[in-house]
């Protein structure tokens, strides 16, 4: 297994020197016994100094397991915990780096506690357990790594890179604009922690994208991404739609207003069944806008995801007895399109 499954990589420390529209009945979650805790490795590492490297290395290997290995070797790139000579040498340099100390201070000041995030994640994963009783609940571990990765995931944990959620007023993101465009960093806010973590879990654990012929064309990818966003509707019913898909309010308003025209454009351009990777990338990749549509760069990006979302909402509306488990097992994209009766407007 890869150490990080499809995580978002941004910038690495230089070691040397450096609201849903889903209509559904109320669900009683009272009988689901779950109380999630986010482990604060970012606070733990605050206790690290050049004199206790060996002690902490032994303790953290046992306490944090695979996460600690991944953190030291791949996030900080300081070296594997088992290679103590290399690890300690690099960590002594990292601990002296002003950038490391400043980022640690900023992260701890921004997040003195994660009580609200724990509460919101607990509720979200109660919904997941309600719909998918066999779902495995991972460990949640908060950390900072110098803008290396936002939400790493492995077999037994999901990481929460707090330095990637410091807020719109953080001075770091404008300074990193060459590596992290502002259209991405505008989402690096505390309110994005829970939806981003849930989306990571859905995409990488509960319902990974099938690696087969069913996802080689535009429609199949629309259906897959539409299912992910529909799952988020059910799991995060109080979260704004714009947060789920990563739009600004203006982009969300634009997409809703022009939904019929966007669908008509996809039909006119014969995009639904294309396997052209460049065209697919423009429909699902991160971008500030969609160049082919709108004027003055006002259009929303990721329109394949948006249309797939609306299509799945329409499909579920037309099939009220369809469960989420059955929805995920229904992988015939053309059948879903036909039965949805979707025409570009809900």
Q: Which residues of 105-143 are buried (b: 16+ CB within 10 A; e: fewer)?
A: ebbbebbeebeebbebbbbbbbbbbbbbeeeebbbbbbb
Average pLDDT, the chain: 91
Pull the structure tokens for residue 158. 């999901």
pLDDT in tens, 307-335: 999 999 999 999 999 999 999 999 899 99
Query: What are the backbone angles phi and psi of residue 277, rounded to the nearest 5°?
Result: -65, -35
CA distances from 29 to 120, 230, 327 (A): 13, 19, 22
For the segment 119-128, the average pLDDT, to the nearest whole number, is: 98
Domain coordinates in residue numbering, the chain: 38-204, 207-340
Asked if 215 contacts 209 with a C-beta cutoff of 8 angstroms, the reply is yes
Q: Please give the angle made by the CA atoms of 181, 184 and 188, to the nearest 5 degrees.
A: 120
DSSP string, 301-314: S-HHHHHHHHHHHH
| DSSP annotation of 9 | B
pLDDT in tens, 52-92: 999 999 999 999 999 999 999 999 999 999 999 999 999 99
Confidence of residue 200 (pLDDT cuts 50, 70, 90): very high
- How many beta carbons lie within 10 A of that of residue 8, not counting itself? 17
CA distance 12 to 76: 7
pLDDT of the residue at 25: 66
pLDDT in tens, 34-52: 999 999 999 999 999 999 9
- How many beta carbons lie within 10 A of that of residue 286, not counting itself? 13
Nearest to 164 by CA among 179, 155, 156: 179
pLDDT of the residue at 205: 96
- Say yes or no to pLDDT of 104 above 90: yes
Asked if 162 contacts 141 with a C-beta cutoff of 8 angstroms, the reply is no
> Which residues, including other chains, have CB under 8 Å from residue 236's CB and lie 6 or more apart?
20, 124, 127, 194, 195, 198, 244
Confidence of residue 127 (pLDDT cuts 50, 70, 90): very high
For the segment 268-274, the average pLDDT, to the nearest whole number, is: 96
pLDDT in tens, 165-194: 999 899 999 999 889 999 999 999 999 999
Nearest to 120 by CA among 39, 34, 187, 206: 34
pLDDT of the residue at 216: 78
pLDDT of the residue at 215: 58
> Which residues, including other chains, have CB under 8 Å from residue 141's CB and lie 6 or more apart?
38, 39, 41, 64, 67, 157, 158, 159, 160
- Say yes or no to pLDDT of 135 above 60: yes
| DSSP annotation of 46 | G
154 CB burial (10 A radius; 0-12, 13-18, 19+)? buried
- Say yes or no to pLDDT of 20 above 90: no
The label of the residue with tokens 């997409």 reads: 255
CA distance 332 to 264: 22
Q: Which residues is 160 bridged to in the sheet?
A: 142
Confidence of residue 11 (pLDDT cuts 50, 70, 90): very low
The proportion of the chain whose per-residue pLDDT surpasses 90, expressed as a percent, equals 85
pLDDT of the residue at 129: 97
Asked if 293 contacts 303 with a C-beta cutoff of 8 angstroms, the reply is yes
CA distance 340 to 317: 8
Nearest to 325 by CA among 156, 197, 135: 135
pLDDT of the residue at 192: 98
pTM, whole model, 2 decimals?
0.91
- Say yes or no to pLDDT of 297 above 90: no
pLDDT in tens, 208-243: 998 764 557 999 999 999 999 999 999 999 999 999
Confidence of residue 345 (pLDDT cuts 50, 70, 90): confident
pLDDT of the residue at 8: 46
């Amino acid at each position: 297994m890869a150490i990080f499954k499809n995580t978002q990589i941004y910038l690495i420390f230089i070691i040397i020197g450096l609201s849903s529209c889903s209509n559904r009945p109320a669900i009683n979650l009272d009988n689901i016994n779950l109380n999630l805790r986010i482990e604060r490795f970012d606070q733990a590492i605050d206790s690290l100094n050049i004199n206790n490297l060996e002690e902490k290395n032994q303790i953290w290997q046992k306490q944090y397991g695979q996460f600690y290995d991944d953190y030291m070797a791949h996030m900080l790139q300081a070296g594997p915990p088992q290679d103590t000579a290399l690890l300690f040498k690099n960590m002594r340099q990292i601990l002296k780096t002003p950038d490391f100390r400043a980022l640690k201070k900023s992260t701890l000041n921004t997040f003195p506690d994660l009580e609200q995030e724990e509460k919101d994640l607990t509720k979200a994963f109660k919904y997941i357990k309600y719909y998918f009783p066999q779902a495995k609940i991972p460990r949640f571990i908060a950390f900072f790594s110098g803008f290396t990765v936002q939400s790493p995931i492995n077999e037994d944990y999901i990481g929460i890179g707090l330095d990637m959620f410091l807020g719109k007023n953080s001075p770091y993101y404008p300074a990193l604009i060459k590596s992290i465009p502002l259209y991405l960093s505008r989402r690096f806010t505390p309110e994005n922690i829970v939806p981003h973590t849930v989306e990571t879990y859905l995409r990488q654990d509960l319902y990974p994208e099938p690696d087969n012929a069913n996802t080689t064309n535009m429609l199949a990818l629309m259906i897959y991404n539409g299912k992910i966003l529909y799952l988020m509707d059910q799991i995060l019913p109080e979260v704004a739609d714009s947060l789920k898909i990563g739009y600004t309010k203006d982009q969300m308003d634009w997409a809703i207003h022009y939904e019929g025209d966007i669908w008509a454009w996809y039909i006119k351009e014969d995009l639904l069944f294309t396997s052209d990777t460049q065209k697919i990338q423009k429909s699902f990749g991160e971008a500030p806008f969609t160049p082919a549509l709108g004027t003055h760069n006002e259009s929303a990006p990721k329109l394949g995801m948006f249309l797939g979302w609306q299509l799945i909402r329409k499909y579920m509306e037309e099939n009220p007895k369809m469960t989420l488990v059955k929805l995920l097992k229904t992988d015939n994209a053309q059948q879903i399109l036909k039965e949805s009766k979707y025409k570009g407007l809900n």
